[in-house]
Amino acid sequence: MKVEGRKPKAEGRPKVEIRKGACVFVAGTDTGVGKTFVSAEVVRALRRAGVHAGAVKPFATGNRDDARVLQAAMDGELTLKEINPVFFRRPLAPMVAARLEKKRVALRVKLPVKRFDLLLVEGVGGWLVPLTERVTVADWVARQGWPIIIVARAGLGTINHTLLTVESARRRGVKIAGVILNDVNKAGAATARRNAAVLRRLTRLPVFLSVEKLAGKVAASLRDASQ
């Protein structure tokens, strides 16, 4: 809900309560915005804070490099198949890759949820990438009922892309735990801070510029929910 006249805080605890044993989806405003980097770094930061966190990427195309990054962040706790159960060789949207390879996209995937205090589930490409002709990433996440963290670029264009992603998620009833602007150094600190301030005001969501701060807020939310 937008509250007129109230100045948004710089950063805050995720508005969505995150409980132990939960899944949180890591969504991107586009492909290549840094979902894997953010997921891996959040897992590492949470583990340093005493939270047994894990990360998976159910759908991937082209290669399994992202799955290997997540595997390293978990010190090899999961196999590549466990991290990425649905894979297509062609570096295209899953719907397109599956069609060219004459395969089907399995939407029912088994995830190792019970093995972790918190499981991050990284998306493939952007928020509205089609998994099948009828189901997008957004639709699939909405069916799971998971909250999401949105990863966006810090620089030019991020306000539009982030607002579109937020609007789409809210239309589907998906709860948003927060937004993180990635690659701040490339955008420049002043630009990143300005874009973050605008997005906080327009979305009324926590917007982070630091993975460590995001992980800290997630860990605090887990502690609060367990009390």
φ, ψ at 193 (rounded to 5°): -65, -40
Name the token pair of 17: 């309560």
7 is catalytic: no
How far apart CA 142 and CA 151 sit, in angstroms, is: 17
Cβ distance 176 to 204 under 8 Å? no
How far is 159 from 112, CA to CA, in rounded Å?
34
**Strand pairing class (22-28; 148-153):** parallel
Task: State the residue for tokens 């939407």.
Answer: 107
Question: Chain centroid to CA 128: how far?
Answer: 13
Q: How far apart are CA 70 and CA 84, in angstroms?
A: 10
The count of residues in the chain is 227
Catalytic pick among 2, 15, 57, 213: 57
Residue with tokens 């069916």: 143
Which residues are identified as catalytic?
57
